[in-house]
């Protein structure tokens, strides 16, 4: 469905040191530096897949999405989406895709969302009957009845985001790019959005690429993740395997009937947190069984669970690794 | 380009603007009144200039009123149908929401050009027509049928030129960072069109005829109504307007290619 080969996107950015003198100088002479937003990325995505793009701010996730959507021309490399070259922006291509941006909105601000839906119906040439069906479905799934008649500016962020999503799906795109669709939403709204996005993918077989800062979004939606760091691909595979690779240790979470002495915990594993009623231990995977056994026999345990390290920590460790590797490479480049 | 589809799209866009206009009923009165006030202020310089002499460069006071009439009428078109979309476009670039326009499977120039209309500003069109009637009553004669026909053709070319100028200004918005002032630039250029083109001398006359064809927009239709416009000029105006529109379209396409959205 999607194929990306050696994608590079470099920007020329005008750089200026601070100060009035430098500002005046920059009027006549400008120094440009190339920013490598995306620097040689390749991957393939099969139809119907749900893939999460992960990476720190400025890693190149959004740039990659925009190249895939045809909004940015790649500096180098080949990109095809369902047989189309995105940058040509052919009508047939644009009718198949949609990009939802959590931080930008397409809804007409002063008019009710229903007017944006109607506009999109006309732009995408959606037949009346199909439009009505799709809209009825969206309205009931996202619980929009009360919202679509109110001017957009009177809606809350969460309500607006639901309508944004509906506006984006009027033409039933086969490829959906979601750029931080849950940003700023409360937890229950995030759950609603995730469930809906997953249902859309399962019902229509649409291919889905998602970027998000909320790891829960990615964990709930994407069996496969692609990690981009400083414009380069640093991981492509299942989320579970990523966690296994970066943090093979497991966490044993204990609920305790009564407070225990720290000295009792340290022999069991690395103590991550310790409070009067609970403790979290980090242990090697092969030592989980032994640790659980010992904990149950030596401590007043009322409840016990074994978990992976939180995704946030896994990611931050992965990015730290990348940073260290780059620093290392930079040192080697400098002649002794 | 599928004409029927785009006509339907235009209908939907017009409907949205209509709904918006009805939502802000208070605006109707306020904007209508301001437009009227501006029509009269537009006349003020004319009174000052013609107070001192009976005619300028072959234009009497009442003949000049025709130029002001066309200016007012076009101002109605500009403020009602062209400027609102310009403001919307500048907003799109600033907020980075132009991406949504470019994602749509329809011509982007068409979509941004039709995104917003302010029907209340059409009051100016009526003021313009009122000025024509007053001028001809004062002149003591009526325009000939071919004259009216020619002026209607020229209304078309004027709108095309105005629109193309607008597209050029919008295209500039892709290259300069601060775009808020573009609207002012545009209105100030347009302001020069209230004078018969023959009052401009030397390089200004050249600029306003060939670079920014203001003469074509207001003076030609006024001459046509007076029956003083040679047929060759009419043909020239049509050819010129079409060429100007073609250049604007080309610049627009180049600008879109240059566009890289506000955040990467």
Domain locations along chain A: 2-243, 248-307
**pLDDT at residue B261 above 50?**
no
Instruction: Please tell me which residue, A81 or B217, carries the higher pLDDT value.
Output: A81
**pLDDT at residue B262 above 60?**
no
Residue B264 falls inside a structural domain:
no
Helix (H, G, I), strand (E, B) or coil at B19: helix
Question: Tokens representing B173?
Answer: 């918005």
Residue B125 falls inside a structural domain:
yes
Residue B154 falls inside a structural domain:
yes
Chain B residues inside the 8 Å CB shell of A101: 99
Q: Which of A62, A119, A177, A230 to mutate to test the interface with B (most CBs of B within 10 A)?
A: A119
Question: Tokens representing B102?
Answer: 């470019």
Span between the terminal Cα atoms of chain A, in Å: 48
Q: Which residues of chain A have pLDDT under 50?
A: none
Residues A77, A59: Cα–Cα separation, whole Å:
18
> Across the interface, do B5 and A125 touch by the CB < 8 Å criterion?
yes
Domain that holds residue B227: 3-258
pLDDT score of A121: 94
Give the one of A63, A110, A123 whose C-beta lies nearest to B106's C-beta. Answer: A123
Question: Tokens representing A50?
Answer: 């749900």
Look at strands A250-256 and A301-307 and give their pairing: antiparallel
Instruction: Please tell me which residue, B234 or B258, carries the higher pLDDT value.
Output: B234
Reported as half-sphere exposure (CB side, CA atoms, 13 A), residue A47 has a value of 8
The shortest C-alpha distance from A178 to chain B (Å) reads 13
pLDDT digit string (tens) for B16-35? 888 888 777 777 777 777 77
Look at strands A224-229 and A50-54 and give their pairing: parallel
Q: How many CB atoms lie within 10 A of CB A276?
A: 9
Q: Which residues of B lie inside 8 Å of A (Cβ-Cβ)?
A: 5, 8-9, 12-13, 16, 19-20, 23, 95-97, 99-100, 102-106, 111, 257, 260-261, 263-264
Chain B residues inside the 8 Å CB shell of A99: 99, 103
Q: How many CB atoms lie within 10 A of CB B54?
A: 7
Residue B32 falls inside a structural domain:
yes
Domain count, chain B: 1
pLDDT digit string (tens) for B159-190? 998 889 888 888 887 777 566 677 777 777 77
Q: What's the mean pLDDT in B38-61?
A: 75
Q: How many CB atoms lie within 10 A of CB B64?
A: 24
Residue B263 falls inside a structural domain:
no
Query: Residue A151: which of A107, A105, A92, A197 has the closest Cα?
Result: A107
Q: How many CB atoms lie within 10 A of CB A150?
A: 15
Instruction: Please tell me which residue, A335 or B237, carries the higher pLDDT value.
Output: B237
* Complex ipTM > 0.95: no
pLDDT score of B263: 41
Looking at the DSSP bridge assignments, the partners of residue A228 are: A233
Ramachandran region, residue A82 (left: φ > 0; alpha: ψ -120 to 50; beta: rest): left
Looking at the DSSP bridge assignments, the partners of residue A238 are: A224
pLDDT score of B264: 39
> Across the interface, do B105 and A95 touch by the CB < 8 Å criterion?
yes
Helix (H, G, I), strand (E, B) or coil at A42: strand
Query: Residue B213: which of B263, B180, B165 has the closest Cα?
Result: B165
| A115 to chain B: closest CA residue | B16
The dotted CATH code for A2-243 is 3.40.50.300
Beta carbon pairs, A and B, within 8 Å = 68
The shortest C-alpha distance from B16 to chain A (Å) reads 7
Helix (H, G, I), strand (E, B) or coil at B186: helix
pLDDT score of A334: 66
| A113 to chain B: closest CA residue | B16
Question: Tokens representing A281?
Answer: 């231990």
- What is the b/e burial string over B96-111, where b = at least 16 CB atoms within 10 angstroms of the residue's CB? ebbbbbbbbbbebbbb
Q: What's the mean pLDDT in B65-87?
A: 86
pTM: 0.82
Residues A69, A176: Cα–Cα separation, whole Å:
9
What lies within 8 Å, CB to CB, of A278 at 6+ separation is A253, A254, A255, A256
Q: Where are the alpha helices (DSSP H) in A32-99?
A: 61-68, 91-94
Sign of CA dihedral B37, B39, B45, B51: negative
The shortest C-alpha distance from B6 to chain A (Å) reads 9
**pLDDT at residue B211 above 70?**
no
Residue B149: pLDDT band by 50, 70, 90 thresholds? very high
Q: Where are the alpha helices (DSSP H) in chain B?
A: 3-23, 25-52, 61-77, 83-95, 98-102, 108-113, 123-139, 145-172, 182-191, 202-206, 214, 220-226, 231-258
pLDDT score of B258: 78
Out of 3.30.930.10, 3.30.300.130, 3.30.70.1150, 3.30.2130.30, which CATH number does the structure's domain A248-307 have? 3.30.70.1150
């Amino acid at each position: 469905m999607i194929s990306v080969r050696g994608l590079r996107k470099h920007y020329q950015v005008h750089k200026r040191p601070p100060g009035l003198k430098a500002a005046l100088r920059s009027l006549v002479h400008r120094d440009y530096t190339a920013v490598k937003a995306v620097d040689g990325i390749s991957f393939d995505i099969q139809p119907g897949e749900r893939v999460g793009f992960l990476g720190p701010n400025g890693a190149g996730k959004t740039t990659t999405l925009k190249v895939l959507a045809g909004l940015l021309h790649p500096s180098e490399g080949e990109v095809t989406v369902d047989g189309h070259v995105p940058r040509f922006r052919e009508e047939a291509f644009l009718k198949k895709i949609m990009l939802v941006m959590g931080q930008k909105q397409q809804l007409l601000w002063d008019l009710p969302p229903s007017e944006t839906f109607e506009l999109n119906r006309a732009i995408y040439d959606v037949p009346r009957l199909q439009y009505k069906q799709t809209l009825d479905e969206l309205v009931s799934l996202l619980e929009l009845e009360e919202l679509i008649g109110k001017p957009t500016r009177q809606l809350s962020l969460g309500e607006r985001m639901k309508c944004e999503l509906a506006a984006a799906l009027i033409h039933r795109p086969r490829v959906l790019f979601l750029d931080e669709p849950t940003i700023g939403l409360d937890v229950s709204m995030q759950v609603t959005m995730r469930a809906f996005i997953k249902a859309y993918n399962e019902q229509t077989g649409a291919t889905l690429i998602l970027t998000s800062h909320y790891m829960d979004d990615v964990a709930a939606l994407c069996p496969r993740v692609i990690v981009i760091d400083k414009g380069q691909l640093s991981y492509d595979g299942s989320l579970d395997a990523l966690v296994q690779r970066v943090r093979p240790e497991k966490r044993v979470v204990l609920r305790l009937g009564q407070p225990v002495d720290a000295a009792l915990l340290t022999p069991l594993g690395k103590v991550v947190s310790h409070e009067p009623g609970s403790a979290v231990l980090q242990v090697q995977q092969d030592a989980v069984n032994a640790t659980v056994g010992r904990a149950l026999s030596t401590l007043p345990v009322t409840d016990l669970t074994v978990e992976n390290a939180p995704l946030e920590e896994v990611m931050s460790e992965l990015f730290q690794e990348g940073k260290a590797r780059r620093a290392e490479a930079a040192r080697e480049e400098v002649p002794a | 380009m599928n004409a029927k589809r785009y006509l339907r799209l235009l209908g939907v866009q017009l409907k949205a603007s209509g709904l918006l206009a009805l939502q802000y009923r208070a605006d109707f009165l306020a904007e209508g009144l301001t437009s009227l006030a501006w029509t009269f202020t537009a006349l003020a310089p004319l009174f000052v200039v013609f107070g001192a002499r009976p005619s300028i460069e072959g234009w009497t006071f009442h003949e000049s009123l025709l130029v002001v009439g066309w200016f007012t009428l076009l101002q109605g078109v500009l403020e009602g149908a062209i400027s609102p979309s310009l403001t919307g476009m500048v907003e799109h670039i600033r907020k980075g929401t132009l991406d949504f326009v470019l994602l749509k499977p329809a011509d982007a120039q068409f979509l941004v050009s039709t995104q917003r209309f302010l029907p209340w500003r059409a009051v100016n069109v009526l003021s313009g027509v009122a000025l024509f009637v007053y001028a001809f009553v004062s002149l003591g004669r009526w325009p000939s049928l071919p004259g009216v026909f020619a002026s209607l053709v020229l209304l078309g070319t004027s709108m095309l030129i105005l629109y193309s100028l607008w597209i050029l200004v919008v295209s500039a918005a892709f290259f300069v960072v601060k775009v808020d002032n573009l609207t002012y630039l545009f209105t100030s250029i347009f302001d020069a069109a209230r004078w018969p083109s023959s009052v401009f001398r030397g390089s200004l006359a050249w600029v306003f005829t060939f670079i920014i064809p203001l003469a074509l927009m207001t003076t030609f239709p006024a001459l046509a109504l007076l029956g003083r416009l040679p047929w060759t000029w009419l043909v020239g105006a049509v050819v010129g307007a079409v060429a100007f529109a073609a250049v604007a379209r080309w610049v627009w396409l180049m600008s879109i290619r240059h566009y890289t959205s506000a955040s990467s």
